[in-house]
Structure 1
Amino acid sequence: MNTKKTFSFFILIFTCFQLFAQTDKIYTRAGDVLVGEFKSMQKAVLVFDTDYADKEFQIDWTEIDGLEIGNSIIYTSDGIRYYGGLKPMLDKGRLVRVIAKDQEIIMPLDDIVQITSIKVNLKERIIISLDAGFSLTKANSVRQTSAQGKASYTGDKWRFNANFSNVGTVQKDVDPTDRTEGGFTITRDIYRNAMIMGGSEFLSNSEQMLDLRSTGRLGVGYYIIRNSRIYFQAGAGLALSREHYGGDNPTKANSFEGLGLAEFNAYNLSDFSFMAQMYTYPSFTDWGRWRVNADISLKYDLPLDFYIKLSYIHNFDSNPLIDVSKNDYVFKSSIGWEWD
Structure 2
Amino acid sequence: MKENVATFETDYSKNDFKIKWVEIKKIKTKTLYLVSLSSGIRYTGYLESIDDEEVGVIFKNDTLAKTEIKEIVFLRKLDQDFWSNLNASLSVGYNFTKANNLSQYSVRSNLGYRSKNWSASTSYNHIISSQQDVSKTQRLEANLVYKNYIKNKWFGLAEINWLSNTAQNINLRTLSKLGMGKYLVQTNSLYWGLQTGASFNNESFSLDGVDSSNDSAELFFGTEANLYDIGDLSFLSRVVVYPSLTESGRWRTDFNFDIKYDLPFDFYINFGLSYNYDNQPIQSGREKDYVFQTTLGWSL
Alignment TM-score > 0.5, same fold:
yes
Partners of 2:137 and 2:106 lie apart in 1 by 12
- CA shift, 1:55, in A, is 4.2
Deviation at 1:57, TM superposition (A): 2.4
Other-structure match for 2:228 = 267
Paired position in structure 2 for 1:235: 195
SS at 2:185's partner residue?
A: strand
Structure 1 partner of 2:240: 279
Higher helix share: 1
The residue type equivalent to 1:69 in the other structure is: T
Deviation at 1:141, TM superposition (A): 3.5
Unaligned 5+ segments in structure 2 are none
Q: Does 1:330 find its partner at 2:274?
A: no
Deviations 1:26-61 (A, max 9, x none): xxxxxxxxxxxxxxx122222212333334323332
Equivalent in 55, 70, 77 of residue 96 of structure 1: 55
Q: Is 1:52–2:16 an aligned residue pair? A: no
Q: Please list, as runs of the form range in 1=range in 2, the aligned pairs for 1:53-132 lying within 5 A after superposition.
A: 53-70=13-30, 71-89=32-50, 92=52, 95-100=54-59, 102-103=62-63, 105-132=65-92
User: C-alpha separation between the residues in 1 aligned to 2:187 and 2:273?
Assistant: 26
Match of 2:111 among 144, 148, 151: 151
Which of 110, 124, 129 is residue 164 of structure 1 equivalent to?
A: 124
Q: Tell me the TM-score normalised to structure 1 length.
A: 0.83
Tell me the distance in 2 between the aligned counterparts of 1:250 and 1:292: 25
1:257 aligns with 2:218: yes
Question: How many Å separate the matches in 1 of 2:153 and 2:91?
Answer: 32
1:259, distance to aligned residue in structure 2 (A): 1.3
Q: Return 5+ residue gaps in structure 1 as ranges.
A: 1-40
2:73–2:187 CA contact under 8 A, matched in 1: yes
| Alpha carbons 1:263, 1:275 under 8 Å: kept | yes
Relative distance call for 1:120 and 1:59 in structure 2 (3 A) is: farther
Aligned to 1:202: 162
Name the counterpart of 1:11: none
What code does the residue aligned with 1:260 have? F
Structure-2 residue corresponding to 1:13:
none
User: 3-state SS of the aligned residue for 1:245?
Assistant: strand
| Max Rg structure | 1
Q: Give distance in 1, aligned partners of 2:22 and 2:128.
A: 41
CA distance in 2, matches of 1:104, 1:323: 61
Q: Which residue of 1 aligns with 2:144?
A: 184
1:80-113 per-residue CA deviation (whole Å, 9 max, x = no partner) reads 1122211125x625x3222246435432111111
Q: Of the two structures, which has the highest relative contact order with CA contacts closer than 8 Å and spacing of 6 or more?
A: 2
| 1:18 match | none
How far apart, in 2, do the equivalents of 1:134 and 1:322 lie? 31
Asked if the contact 1:251/1:321 (under 8 Å) is kept, the reply is no
Count matched residues.
297
* 1:148 counterpart SS class: strand
Displacement of 1:116 after TM fit?
Answer: 1.8
1:129-182 deviation per Cα after TM superposition (whole angstroms, max 9, x unaligned):
000111223444422111111011111011111000111111222111011110
In the alignment, the residues of structure 2 paired with residue 207 and residue 288 of structure 1 have an alpha-carbon distance, to the nearest angstrom, of 22
Quick check: 2:181–2:194 contact (8 Å CA) kept in 1? yes
Q: Supply the AA of the counterpart residue of 2:274.
A: I
Aligned-pair CA distance for 1:269:
1.2
Please state how far the C-alpha of 1:251 moved relative to its aligned partner: 2.6
Matched residue SS, 1:234: strand
Aligned partner of 1:295 among 243, 256, 279: 256
Q: Distance in 2 between matches of 1:138 and 1:247?
A: 33
Instruction: Give the TM-score, by structure 2 length.
Output: 0.94
SS in structure 2 of the partner of residue 67 of structure 1: coil
Residue by residue over 1:248-295, the C-alpha shift from the partner in whole angstroms, topping out at 9 and shown as x without a partner, is 143311011101111100121111111001122111010211111111
CA distance in 2, matches of 1:170, 1:279: 30
Residue 334 of structure 1 aligns with an amino acid whose one-letter code is: T
